[in-house]
Each structure stands twice: as C-alpha cells, then as structure tokens.
Structure 1
Amino acid sequence: MPEFHKPSLPGSALFESIAGEDDPAERSAAGHRIANLLVRGAHDPADQQLVERVLHLADSEGLGTIAELWSRAPAETVAGALWRLYALRTWVYRNPLQAAREFATGKAYAPVQEVLAGVVDPPGPDEVITLVDTVVRGILAPDFDVALDRAAAFAHIVGVGRGQLDDVDPASGARLVDTARQLRAAAEAERRGNLH
C-alpha cells in the first residue's frame, strides 16, 4: 500500500475522560477496549456511553482518529485486526482504480480467494469500494471472522496482482500478502474464541 500514510495522532479530546491520557500504555488499553466494544457490543451503560462517544467522534472527525489507537496493536487482537481493515479500506478509497487493476490481475492466480472475497466480476473501482465497505460493516455483525476472511482474501489477491505488475514495487505486494496472512490468522483466532 505505497500511497497509504498513517493518520496523525488524535487530539486529547478523545481521551479527556480516560485516565492517563498521556500514557502510551493507557492509550493502548483504551484502543483495545474501544475495539472490543465496537466488535463485541456494549454490555453496560458506561460502555454504551463510550461507544456513543466513539461513534460520534468517528462521524465528526473521521475514523482515523480512533484507528490511530489501534496502529501498534498486535495482528492477532481485535484492535490489530481493525487497524488492518482500516488501512486496507483507506488505501482502496484513495486508489480505487489501482485496487481494481491489481485485483483483476491477481484473481487469475488465486481463484479460491476470489470466490471468498466476493467482488463482482469484472472488478471496477466501485465494486472494489463496495466490497471493502461491506467487509468493514461486517465488524458490527456476529460473523466478524467472515469479515476478516473476506478482507484477507481481497488483500491476498491484490497483493498477488501487485506482484505480477511491472510498474509496482513487488515488495509492497509481499507486504499486502503478509497483511492477508495476518487477517486470516485473526479470523482463525476469532473462530477459536481467542481474539481479544
């Protein structure tokens, strides 16, 4: 994902009611808590209030502010999986033509992954954006593992396609295939009940 740049650090407004807002460990813990609440749902009024604040922040300032909390999370955590989904979605929105081109190139080399990804054939920019949005919406569904599997399949195909093109850095294709592997591992951990 050569065009992707990490968003800037969120402002202190996000953390104003979270103790230790200047402590990186507290920010990391807050990121994991928010990620789990978004995927697993809130079970008490305090958690529901936090979810509402997070969703309001996402609407007003963008998901990047929240996603920054997840950027250093291990791949096989809910926060780490959400970071990878966010990075993939951001890249597709910034480069839909490139994403469609790389997907179209890679699907011949990964037909099983193509079926799992679920992109309409032929995959144009709009179809690729629709797929990524559908996958991201899946984080709020009970089938989070399926959303991760679909994102992994998409990333794998695009990474393989990128590796086949002469005008793209092959190392970036390998990194995307590695992201696909991480998303697949997160999906497996979710099915085992080990994704936290």
Structure 2
Amino acid sequence: MGDFPRPLVSGPQFFEEIPGVPDPAEASAAGHRVAQILVRGTRPDRSGIVERVVHLVDTEGLGTLADLWSTAPADSVAGCLWRLYLLHTWVHRHPGDAAREYAAGLAHASVQNVVAGVAAPPTPDDVVTLVDAVLRGIVQSDFDVILDRASAFAHVAAVGRGQLDSGDPHSAARLLDLAQQLRHAAALERTGDLL
C-alpha cells in the first residue's frame, strides 16, 4: 500500500493544528499588557530596565514593536508607546534633519520649546538626547510629563518642517497630528483615563 495523507481532524482541534498568524485579538491584548507593564509596572529598582527600554528598537526591531502597538488607539498606553518609539526612531535615523526642523520651528512655537526642553539652537546631539530622555522617562518619570515633552518636541519640529517646505506637504501635518495625539494622551493620563 502507498503512503496516504492523514485525514483532516474535524472539530476545534482542526484550527489548533493549522500553523499561521496569531489571533489579532490576542496579539493586541498582549501588546496592551506589555505597554502597561512598561509604564505602570512596579517602580522599585528599575534601573536595569531603563537602558533596555531606550534601546528596544535596536534589540527587537521596529517591526516587532509595530506588531505589538501600531494598531493601538492613540488614546491608549500602547498607542502612546508606538508614537514615542516612532519619534525616537526618526530622530535617531535623521538627527540632522530633526535638529534643523526643530530650529526652524522655534520662532513659531516658543511655548512648546520650553516644555520640550531642547537647547536653542539645537544640535543633532541635543535632539537625540531629548528623545532618549523621553524613553528613559517611560520607566522613571510621570508618564503625562513624558507625553507632554514628546508632544512639544514633535509640535516644534512639525512647525519647522512646514516652514522649510520639505516637498511633502502632508509630512508636517502627520507630525503635527502625532504631537496633538500625544498632548491629548497626556491630558487623559492626568485624569486617569489613559488605558
């Protein structure tokens, strides 16, 4: 007799035996749990975690973080972390552009500059230092303050990007949207409504 394939298993076991993509609802729930642990986890001696959080993109890759958080709503902890890591990645990949756009926005967004806390005029090292401090703050500081700083930085850079006419009129608007989302999330965090 020849080799015959095994018959298909019917019932609930059928779906358990099919390899493939994890359940999107489970993946989303896992992403939200990880975000909550990073931001709201226990505070005693978290010094070892701080540098791991700052370098999470380097060790895990932006794609892994996208799988965890990119579909999370902007008014959730997971959605905030996704936006913070996007901002961090952009600045690390293009620190000269980030510093130039931020400098161009200073004259038009001086209040946000005070909140962001970037030296004027900023150097590429200054903007990298800021976004690293923001990520360190995820586990060291009040989350609303971190969101406000990141929002203010993104706002000034977006205004500067618009002033410099980067060739993509939607680019500055997208960065400004990110700033507004982070600002709104900071307000929700202060009232205890950021999930």
**TM-score bin, normalised by smaller chain:** 0.7 to 0.9
Distance in structure 1 (CA, Å) of the matches to 2:162 and 2:173: 7
Secondary structure at the aligned position of 1:73 is classed as coil
Shift of 1:58: 3.9
Question: Retained in 2: the 8 A contact 1:159–1:176?
Answer: yes
2:60 to 58, 62, 66: 62
Distance in structure 1 (CA, Å) of the matches to 2:166 and 2:58: 37
Residue matched to 2:35 = 35
Distance in structure 1 (CA, Å) of the matches to 2:56 and 2:163: 36
Paired residues, number? 167
Secondary structure at the aligned position of 2:71 is classed as coil
Secondary structure at the aligned position of 1:119 is classed as coil
Residue matched to 1:169 = 168
Cα distance 1:157–1:94, how it changes in 2: closer, same or farther (>3 A)?
A: same
Unaligned runs of 5+ in 2: 1-19, 44-48
> Which amino acid in structure 1 is aligned with residue 40 of structure 2?
R
Cα distance 1:192–1:63, how it changes in 2: closer, same or farther (>3 A)?
A: farther
Cα distance 1:94–1:58, how it changes in 2: closer, same or farther (>3 A)?
A: closer
Mapping of residues 24-173 of structure 1, within 5 Å: 24-42=24-42, 58=56, 61-62=59-60, 64=62, 65-173=64-172
Cα distance 1:58–1:110, how it changes in 2: closer, same or farther (>3 A)?
A: closer
Cα distance 1:68–1:22, how it changes in 2: closer, same or farther (>3 A)?
A: closer
Cα distance 1:42–1:68, how it changes in 2: closer, same or farther (>3 A)?
A: farther
Secondary structure at the aligned position of 2:182 is classed as helix
Cα distance 1:59–1:118, how it changes in 2: closer, same or farther (>3 A)?
A: closer
Shift of 1:63: 5.0
Secondary structure at the aligned position of 1:168 is classed as coil
Question: Retained in 1: the 8 A contact 2:113–2:153?
Answer: yes
Question: Retained in 1: the 8 A contact 2:188–2:194?
Answer: yes
> Which amino acid in structure 1 is aligned with residue 133 of structure 2?
T
1:185 and 2:184 aligned: yes
Distance in structure 2 (CA, Å) of the matches to 1:59 and 1:88: 12
Identity %: 60
> Which amino acid in structure 1 is aligned with residue 191 of structure 2?
R
> Which amino acid in structure 2 is aligned with residue 30 of structure 1?
A
Distance in structure 2 (CA, Å) of the matches to 1:37 and 1:131: 23
Shift of 1:136: 1.1
Shift of 1:42: 4.5
Question: Retained in 1: the 8 A contact 2:154–2:179?
Answer: yes
Secondary structure at the aligned position of 1:22 is classed as coil
What's the TM-score, normalizing by structure 2?
A: 0.79
Distance in structure 2 (CA, Å) of the matches to 1:160 and 1:191: 26
Question: Retained in 2: the 8 A contact 1:96–1:128?
Answer: yes
> Which amino acid in structure 1 is aligned with residue 114 of structure 2?
V
Cα distance 1:60–1:186, how it changes in 2: closer, same or farther (>3 A)?
A: closer
